[in-house]
Structure 1
Amino acid sequence: MTPPPAPHEPQLLPRGSWPEVRRIGDILRTETVGGVLLLVAALLALAWANSPWSGAYQSLGDLTVGPEALHLDLTLGQWAADGLLAIFFFVAGLELKREFVAGDLREPRRAVLPVAAAVGGMAVPALIYVGFNLWSGDGALTGWAIPTATDIAFALAVLGVINTNLPAAMRTFLLTLAVVDDLLAIVIIAVFYTSSLHFGPLLLALVPLALFGLLVQRRVRSWWLLLPLAVTTWALVHASGVHATVAGVLLAFTVPVIRRTPGPGRGLAEHFEHRIRPLSAGVAVPVFAFFAAGVSIAGASGLGATLTDSVTLGIAVGLVAGKVTGVLGATWLVQRFTRARLAEGLAWRDIVGLSLLAGIGFTVSLLIGELAFGAGTERDDHSKIGVLLGSLVSALLASIVLRARNRHYEGVCALEERDTDADGVPDVYEASANRPGPA
């Protein structure tokens, strides 16, 4: 355990403000339920794809629906990846903007650690993948970004299963790291996985996007006005050749975070997030997982060849070893150059467990795999096996590390939840607010 830092000594993972901790707790409860649904959907897809009825699973994913005249005659799998995940990234965009505009991360000293950890946790896995596939040929290098993503819902589902009570600062750090990770992944998708770009639809998309932004800036909440503009923006971005999930982030960034008039109640960004997050976590992500995770374990080339393929190995090792090295290394570098110390009650083995959780990549990793190799190809199947294998090993290792701290975490949580003056705010947060120096 780290000794108490001096009053004015900078801290890594300090305890946040009580309103922010309470809000993060509400988010994590929703995401944990969504993570369980995601796991169920993925297991169902795997069982179906490896059953005698696997042909029916493939036929369902390949079923085409939608208006052909608008070039939206997509398969159900494509609707899940291009349409439903746009909802997921809309929520991620709202969360990121709120964190940096009104949350605890509006202070640069608090924001630098999760941002650095997210960057490190993306760079190292990508380098490991490239190392495995540098001389592979056959376009294997196009999958370099697959092991860079962290799936927050999957990670929180693991936490729910092992019953680990992470300190609030670490839970906030994990959520923020994953959100920054997702947004960086969207930038990678837009820049590196846009095969053809049509400027006409892309420029036209600015019109409904601007109208949407104008309405939300005026605090309009009417869904019958906003939803058609959002769908039109999504359709035009899709027609431009840029992956349609980018539209979700762009729409989210137009939503104001700060209330126009001070007082109780939610701002518009938090209002949208509260309404749409259950749809994202409970429907959009599990349905995408159902269509994306179904892969034959043996594969056309056999299980042995699949497990020894450089793509499979690069992804699995990148998620397990690359994530923990990148996140832990970036955290150490921030500590080294800022001379900060871990907050009281935390130890470096806690950061190791958290870094292992970051190696649970699923939703965005599967999406990038499809974009890199093409849905249904042998390389895509190998990438799915690598994602599943790496995520499973990361989850098991994280469970081992964090279970060893479970009893200590329960004691910390019991202390933090104590409210002797019955004012609704745990005493430890009132003490933090009154203590000089960094909270």
Structure 2
Amino acid sequence: MKRHFNLLREFSVPLLSGVVAALIWVNLDAEGYHSFNHAPLFGPLSFHFITNELFMVLFFGMAAVEITQSCVPGGDLYPLRKAVNPLLATMGGVVGPVLVYLGLNAVIGSPALHGGWGIPTATDIALAWLAASLVFGKRHPAIAFLLLLAIADDAIGLAIIAVFYPDPLHPIAPQWLGLTLAGMGIAFLLRQRKAASYWPYLLIGGVLSWVGLFKAHVHPALALAFIVPFLPHPPREHKHLFEEDPRDLSPLASFEHEWKVVVDFGLFMFGLANAGVEFSGIGVATWLVFASLLIGKTGGIFSMGMLGKWLGYPLPSQVGKKELLLVGLIGGLGLTVALFVAGEAFTDLRIQGAAKMGALFSGGCGIIAFIVGRLMQVRRKP
């Protein structure tokens, strides 16, 4: 039973099931789907609000855990020289899609679509890992390189959401961000006093951070991204990304271990709440987002990774031009964060739906990478 349970998580079955359920529901009964999603469910709170404003706090909190662990001694982004090439590739994987999106929009789009440039900037970590495992085998060095890119561009994606996608109907009220700063201050004091549980950090620092962001009209799903880095953790990492260290009983590791299952299965809710797009809604925004993820991610990651190598910051062992090209293709899997940003980028539901369909189409990047990998005879590492 435990093995089957872990396989469901490993192959992102909850998220994909939520996406499929939403697509079927909205195309059979659009009115019923939207009523369920936006009508009050628990008191005044709708299913969409509970998912995007509350549950996604944990999702982005998990991303913050991986970023924090990667940046300490022994982590995959420490020291800086070790991180230069993946960080350069990350910048290519962010700037490339933005340039492709804005360039294509200038040719075939319209000013109304300009704000969607942030949608293709991030990579879906779970789906990227799954696709890379199928393309390279589970222990190939290219996977760790890809996951570093996904973690780093998700961090950039968090910043883009916070800075560039405030609620257009409610201007930013920066005075409320003092509560978020207060939450960070309390988390710092808890760390100084060596609080041995993550709960005070979440219940005091996290709640203050969420209320501050919510009142300031900055997306509150980012609340724990400001708190998690203060959770105590060992001074040195002994495992790579997504590997559990049974010796690590710190509050940071405990938070990840105890809530990772909730997040993995809770992504069914996210898929159900955000992937409800009618097939008739496919439009220009669909192709802008999909092309930006497919072409921009691939070209940006490949070109900047090769530039880093030329500058003297080598790629990992067994990662050459073919592997780097495949990493770029898999990086185009933007499903989760792309859906999230699409919901923030456009208030017009027709355009929003078309953009979300482009995010859903990005799942094809994994299929393309698998086919290209076989054609180029890239050897899998079992």
Please, what TM-score do these two structures have when normalized by structure 1? 0.76
C-alpha deviation, 1:315, in angstroms: 0.8
Give the counterpart letter for 2:290 in structure 1.
A
Change in 2 beyond 3 A, CA 1:393/1:134:
same
Q: Per the alignment, do residues 207 and 297 of structure 1 end up closer, same or farther by CA in structure 2, a change over 3 Å counting?
A: same
Q: What is the Cα deviation at residue 274 of structure 1?
A: 1.8
- Given candidates 197, 207, 213, the residue that maps to 1:237 is 213
- Alpha-carbon offset, residue 270 of structure 1: 2.2
Q: 2:272 aligns with which of 279, 286, 290?
A: 290
1:38 aligns with 2:12: no
- RMSD over aligned Cα atoms: 2.6
Where does residue 199 of structure 1 map in the other structure? 174
Report the residue type matching 2:122 in the other structure: A
Kept in 1, the 8 Å contact 2:129–2:147? The answer is no
State the match for 2:64 in structure 1. 93
Equivalence for 2:26: 49
Distance 2:136 2:9 in 1: 12
Q: Which residue of 2 aligns with 1:393?
A: 364
Partner of 1:60: 36
Q: Give the C-alpha shift of residue 204 in structure 1.
A: 2.2
Return the alpha-carbon distance in structure 2 between the equivalents of residues 238 and 110 of structure 1: 37
Matches within 5 A, 1:321-400: 321-338=295-312, 340=314, 343=317, 345-374=318-347, 377-389=349-361, 391-400=362-371
- Bigger shift: residues 119-128 or 195-204: 195-204
Structure 2 residue aligned with 1:317: 291
TM superposition shift of 1:208: 3.1
**1:278: how far off?**
1.9
Q: 1:139 deviation in Å?
A: 2.1
CA distance in 2, matches of 1:381, 1:238: 24
Say whether the 8 Å CA contact 2:119–2:342 is kept in structure 1.
yes
Q: Aligned partner of 1:100: which letter?
A: C
Distance 1:271 1:85 in 2: 19
Q: What corresponds to 1:435 in structure 2?
A: none
Task: Write the distance in 2 (CA, Å) between the matches of 1:145 and 1:256.
Answer: 32
Q: Displacement, 1:356?
A: 0.7
Letter in 1 for 2:177: L
Q: How far apart in 2 are the matches of 1:222 and 1:96? A: 20
1:43 partner amino acid: V
Aligned length: 363
What residue number does 1:10 align with? none
Cα 1:200–1:59 change in 2 (3 A) is: same
Structure 2 letter corresponding to 1:350: E
- Taking a change above 3 Å as real, the CA distance of residues 123 and 32 of structure 1, as seen in their structure-2 partners, is farther
Using the alignment, how far apart are the partners of 1:319 and 1:171 within structure 2? Answer: 19
- State the match for 1:254 in structure 2: 230
Shift of 1:165: 0.7
Letter of the 1:170 counterpart: A
Question: Corresponding residue for 1:214?
Answer: 189
Contact 1:30 1:278 in 2 (8 A): no
SS of residue paired to 1:408: coil
CA distance in 1, matches of 2:8, 2:331: 15
Decide whether aligned partners of structure 1 residues 172 and 77 sit closer, same or farther in structure 2, where only a CA change above 3 A counts. same
How many angstroms apart in 1 are the aligned matches of 2:302 and 2:101? Answer: 18
Helix, strand or coil for the counterpart of 1:104? coil
Q: In the superposition, relative to structure 1, how do residues 273 and 406 fare at CA in structure 2: closer, same or farther (>3 Å)? A: farther
Question: Partners of 1:282 and 1:146 in 2: how far apart?
Answer: 24
Aligned residues of 2:335 and 2:359 also touching (Cα < 8 A): yes
Give, in angstroms, the shift of residue 296 of structure 1: 0.5
State the alpha-carbon separation in 1 of the partners of residues 300 and 273 from structure 2.
30
Q: Deviations over 1:410-429 (max 9, x none)?
A: 4xx4xxxxxxxxxxxxxxxx
Q: 1:363 deviation in Å?
A: 1.1
Q: Is the 8 A contact 1:259 1:267 kept in 2?
A: no
Match of 1:423 in 2: none
For 1:274 and 1:168, the matched residues in 2 are separated by 24
* Deviation (angstroms), 1:155: 2.0
Percent of pairs with identical residues = 28
Match of 1:112 among 75, 81, 84: 84
Larger Rg: 1
Contact kept? 1:237, 1:247, Cα under 8 Å: yes
Question: Could you state the TM-score of these two structures normalised by the residue count of structure 2?
Answer: 0.86
Letter of the aligned partner of 2:351 in structure 1? Answer: R
Change over 3 Å in CA distance of 1:338–1:32 after alignment to 2: farther
* Aligned 1:78-227 pairs, distance under 5 A: 78-102=49-73, 103-134=75-106, 136-159=109-132, 162=134, 164-194=136-166, 195=168, 196-222=171-197, 225-227=200-202
User: CA offsets, 1:94-122, max 9 Å, x none?
Assistant: 11111111313211121112211111101
Task: Return structure 1 stretches of 4+ with deviation > 6 angstroms.
Answer: none
Q: What are the residue-to-residue correspondences of 1:413-432 with 2, within 5 Å?
A: 413=382
Q: 5+ unaligned residues in a row in structure 2: which ranges?
A: 1-5, 239-245
Distance change in 2, residues 1:264/1:147 (3 Å): closer
Do 1:31 and 1:153's aligned partners in 2 also have CA atoms closer than 8 Å? Answer: no
2:380 aligned with 1:409, yes or no? yes
**Residues 112, 163 of structure 1: CA spacing in aligned structure 2 closer, same or farther, 3 A cutoff?**
closer
Deviations 1:262-313 (A, max 9, x none): 9943333222222222222221x331121101110113xxxxxx34x2x222
Selected match of 2:262 from 279, 286, 290: 279
